[in-house]
Structure 1
Amino acid sequence: MGYVLGIDGGGSKTVCVLMDNLHQVLGRGEAGSSNYQIISIEATLQSIKSAINNAVEAANITNSLKIDAICLGLAGVGRAADIEVVKGLVEELHNQQSLPIILALQPANIVICNDALIALVGGIGQPVGIVVAAGTGSIVFGRNHQGGTKRVGGWGYILGDEGSAYKIAIAGMNAALKSYDGREISTSLVEAFKQHLGLENIEDLIEVIYRRQWGVKQIAALAPIVDFAAASGDIVANIIIDDAVKELVKATSTVIHAIFSADSVLEVVTTGSVWRGRCKIHERFAASLVKEFPNVSVICPRHEPAYGAGLLALQTTQN
Structure 2
Amino acid sequence: MKSYLWDTLSDCVSVYLVLFNCLQVTVQCKTIMSNDLFGGIEGGATRTSLVIYNGLGEKVVEHEVAESSNHWNMGMTECIYLLNQIVKDALKKSGKYPADTKLKCLGLCLSGCEEEETNAVLKQGLIKSHPNLAEDYIVCSDTIAPIAVAHGKGGAVIISGTGSNALLVNPSGKQARCGGWGHILGDEGSAYWIAYRAVKTCLDCDDDFEPLPPGATINATWNLVKSHFNIGNRSVGLETPSDERGVHAPQDDDCNARRNEMFELLTPFYANFSKPKVAQLCQKLSVEARNGDVLCKHLFESAGVQLGKMVQSLYKNAEKPLLERPGGLPIVCSGSVWKSWDLVKPGFVKQLARTDRGVLVKEISLIKLKTGHATGAAYLAAKHINYPFPVKNNDTCYVFYNYTAASS
**TM-score of the superposed pair, with normalisation by structure 1:** 0.83
> In structure 2, how many angstroms separate the alpha carbons of the residues matched to 1:115 and 1:233?
35
> In structure 1, how many angstroms separate the alpha carbons of the residues matched to 2:37 and 2:221?
51
- SS across alignment from 1:314: helix
Aligned pair partner of 1:307 in 341, 362, 375: 375
Task: Give 2:77's aligned residue.
Answer: 42
- The AA in structure 1 aligned to 2:289 is A
Task: Give 1:167's aligned residue.
Answer: 193
Residues 136 and 164, structure 1, Cα contact 8 Å, conserved in 2:
yes
Aligned pair partner of 1:277 in 340, 352, 374: 340
- SS across alignment from 2:265: helix
> In structure 1, how many angstroms separate the alpha carbons of the residues matched to 2:185 and 2:75?
25
> In structure 1, how many angstroms separate the alpha carbons of the residues matched to 2:297 and 2:351?
15
> In structure 1, how many angstroms separate the alpha carbons of the residues matched to 2:349 and 2:386?
35
Aligned pair partner of 1:267 in 310, 327, 330: 330
Q: Are positions 1:67 and 2:103 aligned together?
A: yes
Question: CA 1:259 to 1:11, structure 2 compared with 1: closer, same or farther past 3 Å?
Answer: same
- SS across alignment from 2:324: coil
Residues 162 and 244, structure 1, Cα contact 8 Å, conserved in 2:
yes
Task: Give 1:187's aligned residue.
Answer: 216
- The AA in structure 1 aligned to 2:330 is E
Q: Are positions 1:81 and 2:117 aligned together?
A: yes
Q: Are positions 1:22 and 2:56 aligned together?
A: yes
> In structure 2, how many angstroms separate the alpha carbons of the residues matched to 1:211 and 1:55?
38
Structure having the higher Rg:
2
> In structure 2, how many angstroms separate the alpha carbons of the residues matched to 1:135 and 1:209?
23
- SS across alignment from 1:259: coil
Residues 131 and 269, structure 1, Cα contact 8 Å, conserved in 2:
yes
Task: Give 1:148's aligned residue.
Answer: 174
Q: Are positions 1:316 and 2:345 aligned together?
A: no
What's the CA shift for 1:187? Answer: 2.8
Which range moved further: 83-92 or 146-155? 83-92
Q: Are positions 1:120 and 2:179 aligned together?
A: no
What's the CA shift for 1:151? Answer: 0.8
What's the CA shift for 1:174? Answer: 3.0
Task: Give 2:296's aligned residue.
Answer: 237
Which range moved further: 136-145 or 272-281? 272-281
> In structure 1, how many angstroms separate the alpha carbons of the residues matched to 2:221 and 2:301?
19
- The AA in structure 2 aligned to 1:51 is I
Number of residue pairs matched by the alignment: 309
Question: CA 1:94 to 1:312, structure 2 compared with 1: closer, same or farther past 3 Å?
Answer: same
Residues 152 and 255, structure 1, Cα contact 8 Å, conserved in 2:
yes
Task: Give 1:52's aligned residue.
Answer: 87
> In structure 1, how many angstroms separate the alpha carbons of the residues matched to 2:192 and 2:172?
34
Residues 288 and 296, structure 2, Cα contact 8 Å, conserved in 1:
yes
Residues 121 and 308, structure 1, Cα contact 8 Å, conserved in 2:
yes
Q: Are positions 1:5 and 2:78 aligned together?
A: no
1:46-79 per-position Cα deviation (integer Å, ceiling 9, x unaligned): 2111111122123322477553222111221122
Task: Give 2:12's aligned residue.
Answer: none
Question: CA 1:45 to 1:252, structure 2 compared with 1: closer, same or farther past 3 Å?
Answer: same
Residues 128 and 142, structure 1, Cα contact 8 Å, conserved in 2:
yes
What residue ranges of structure 2 are gaps of 5+ in the alignment?
Answer: 1-32, 237-257, 355-359, 388-408
Residues 10 and 35, structure 1, Cα contact 8 Å, conserved in 2:
yes
Using the aligned pairs only, state the percent identity. 23
1:8-55 per-position Cα deviation (integer Å, ceiling 9, x unaligned): 234434322111233332112234443222224332222111111122
What's the CA shift for 1:223? Answer: 1.9
1:163-222 per-position Cα deviation (integer Å, ceiling 9, x unaligned): 111221222233334445664355354234225524434535523321343433222222
Residues 125 and 308, structure 1, Cα contact 8 Å, conserved in 2:
no
Task: Give 2:366's aligned residue.
Answer: 298
RMSD, matched Cα: 3.0
